[in-house]
């Protein structure tokens, strides 16, 4: 899983020497890949407001929805994730600030507010669309469980024909779930005196047992059901027309789910891209602001994008600490309290560093 670190160092001679050493080390080892990261000239005001982080849970929720929607191919979520029609790694390494959406002439607070408003709108629509899709999916699954369930509930329309059911002014046909065939054959005619002799036929069977028809007078139905229950026979509530209606509903819901799948999947892919892009733009704002706060004015710093993985992170941290310790000899890799709005607890290093991980796209 790709991990990116955005680091910023001032343009003093020692730091620039450290950058060159870092590039050589990265080229010779597998610690990380290293490239320059361009941040535009943003507007510095007298009062710098530290931009709050885009809610990462929105990205996670979008990915989770993609996993649920894609179902059999849910392990392909990360592969299908993109930003500006590029894979996430390419987008990061070739990052360009979107001046059309986020004009650099605007104050930082306005830029951050605009980005977060955009993400909030995506989150609101995501909840609505996810609820609608989940409703269709749940209704279909519920009906499917019923029609494909036990002998007492499953659809029998593929096995029962209209001519199997006698329905007249005085007579009716019941369907009975039977596990002991011999017991049924020996007793069904005597459960009530109004059963038509030799009227029982086996219509369907599976591992649970069989479904038998039996014809009797309508006035004896209640008595027959009670006696059948005593003998552990289950009389099914069955209507050919009702089950035919349920089959039509199954086809309708299946088609509706397929249609919704296409619409929702496309929406998720587009908006995952939008939210990821917004998240990266806020990261850039944060790098800019902390660099100004750390290194002062006039603005003068260099930003590098490091791509690494977890197994190399500790060694890479040690290398960076060694190269840039001159920026703040007291810095440690321990968490420290931070009074900057938007940061309650943050790892502090001698250089500016922000972590960007695509691990939120790996939903378990």
- Convert the pLDDT of each residue in 16-31 to its tens digit: 999 999 999 988 888 9
Least confident piece of the model among 107-111, 269-273, 284-288, 356-360: 356-360
User: What stretches of the chain adopt beta strand conformation (E)?
Assistant: 3-10, 33-36, 171-178, 201-206, 209-217, 234-236, 301-308, 335-337, 345-347, 352-357
Rg (CA), the chain: 34
- Convert the pLDDT of each residue in 324-335 to its tens digit: 999 998 876 444
The pLDDT of residue 82? 86
Classify residue 86 by its DSSP letter. Answer: B
The pLDDT of residue 345? 44
- The answer to whether the beta carbons of residues 105 and 43 sit under 8 Å apart is yes
pLDDT at 342 over 50: no
Tell me which residue of 232, 240, 6, 274 sits closest to 117, measured CA to CA.
274
- Length of the chain in residues, anyone? 364
- The answer to whether the beta carbons of residues 25 and 324 sit under 8 Å apart is no
Quickly count: other Cβ atoms within 10 Å of residue 281's Cβ.
22
The pLDDT of residue 10? 96
Six-digit token string for 29? 């080892």
181 vs 160: CA distance, rounded Å: 19
CA 190 remoteness from chain centre: 58
pLDDT-derived band of residue 346, with 50, 70 and 90 as boundaries?
Answer: low
Q: How confident is the prediction for the chain on average, in pLDDT? A: 86
- Convert the pLDDT of each residue in 202-230 to its tens digit: 999 988 899 999 999 999 999 999 999 99
The pLDDT of residue 344? 40
Kindly state the percentage of the chain with pLDDT values over 90.
56
pLDDT-derived band of residue 163, with 50, 70 and 90 as boundaries?
Answer: confident
- The answer to whether the beta carbons of residues 54 and 282 sit under 8 Å apart is yes
- 336 backbone dihedrals φ, ψ, rounded to 5°: -130, 155
CA triple 22-24-7, angle to 5 deg: 25
pLDDT at 80 over 90: no
Tell me which residue of 12, 18, 6, 32 sits closest to 288, measured CA to CA.
6
The pLDDT of residue 341? 42
Mean pLDDT, range 278-307, rounded to an integer = 93
Kindly state the percentage of the chain with pLDDT values over 70.
88
The pLDDT of residue 306? 96
The pLDDT of residue 50? 60
327 vs 12: CA distance, rounded Å: 10
- Convert the pLDDT of each residue in 119-131 to its tens digit: 999 999 999 999 9
Q: End-to-end distance of the chain based on CA atoms, in angstroms?
A: 14
pLDDT at 37 over 60: yes
pLDDT at 364 over 50: no
Sketch out the chain's domains with CATH numbers: 2-141+254-327+346-360 (1.20.1460.10), 162-237 (3.30.70.100)
Classify residue 220 by its DSSP letter. Answer: G
The pLDDT of residue 78? 62
Mean pLDDT, range 253-262, rounded to an integer = 92
Q: Helix, strand or coil for residue 290?
A: helix
- 345 backbone dihedrals φ, ψ, rounded to 5°: -145, 120
Six-digit token string for 42? 């943003």
The pLDDT of residue 338? 44
Tally helices (H) and strands (E) across the chain.
Answer: 9, 10
- 277 backbone dihedrals φ, ψ, rounded to 5°: -60, -45
pLDDT-derived band of residue 337, with 50, 70 and 90 as boundaries?
Answer: very low
- Between these two residues, 222 and 148, which has the higher pLDDT value? 222
The pLDDT of residue 356? 86
Can you say whether residue 160 is alpha, beta or left, with left for phi > 0 and alpha for psi between -120 and 50 degrees? beta
pLDDT at 54 over 70: no
Q: Which helix (H) or strand (E) holds 325?
A: none
The pLDDT of residue 335? 47
Six-digit token string for 240? 């050919």
The pLDDT of residue 343? 41
pLDDT at 109 over 50: yes
Six-digit token string for 40? 């535009």
């Amino acid at each position: 899983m790709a991990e990116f670190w955005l680091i910023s160092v001032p343009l003093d001679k020692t730091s620039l020497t450290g950058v060159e050493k870092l590039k050589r080390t990265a080229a010779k080892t597998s610690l990380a890949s290293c490239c320059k990261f361009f941040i535009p000239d943003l507007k510095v005001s007298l009062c710098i407001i530290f931009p709050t982080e885009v809610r990462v849970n929105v990205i996670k929720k979008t990915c989770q929805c993609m996993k649920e929607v894609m179902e059999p191919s849910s392990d392909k979520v990360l592969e299908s994730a993109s930003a500006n029609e590029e894979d996430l790694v390419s987008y990061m390494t070739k990052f360009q600030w979107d001046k059309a959406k986020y004009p650099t002439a605007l104050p930082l607070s306005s830029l951050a507010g605009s980005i977060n408003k955009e993400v909030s709108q995506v989150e609101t629509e995501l909840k609505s669309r996810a609820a609608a899709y989940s409703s269709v999916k749940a209704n279909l699954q519920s009906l499917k469980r019923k029609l494909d369930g036990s002998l007492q509930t499953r659809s029998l329309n593929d096995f029962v024909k209209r001519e199997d059911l006698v329905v007249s002014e005085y007579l009716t046909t019941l369907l009975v779930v039977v596990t002991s065939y011999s017991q049924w054959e020996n007793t069904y005619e005597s459960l009530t005196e109004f059963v038509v002799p030799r009227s029982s036929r086996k219509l369907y069977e599976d591992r649970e047992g069989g479904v038998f028809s039996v014809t009797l007078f309508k006035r004896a139905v209640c008595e027959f059901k009670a006696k059948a229950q005593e003998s552990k026979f289950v009389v099914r509530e069955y209507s050919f027309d009702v089950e035919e209606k349920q089959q039509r509903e199954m086809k309708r819901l299946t088609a509706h789910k397929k249609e919704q799948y296409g619409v929702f999947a496309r929406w998720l892919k587009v908006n995952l891209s939008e939210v990821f892009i917004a998240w990266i733009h806020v990261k850039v704002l944060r790098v800019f602001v902390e660099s100004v706060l750390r290194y002062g004015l006039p603005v003068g710093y260099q930003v590098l994008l490091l791509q690494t993985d977890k197994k190399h992170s500790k060694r890479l941290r040690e290398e960076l600490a060694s190269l840039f310790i001159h920026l703040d000899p007291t810095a440690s890799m321990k968490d420290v309290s931070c009074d900057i709005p938007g940061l309650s607890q943050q790892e502090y290093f001698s250089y500016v560093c922000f972590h960007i991980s695509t691990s939120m796209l790996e939903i378990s």
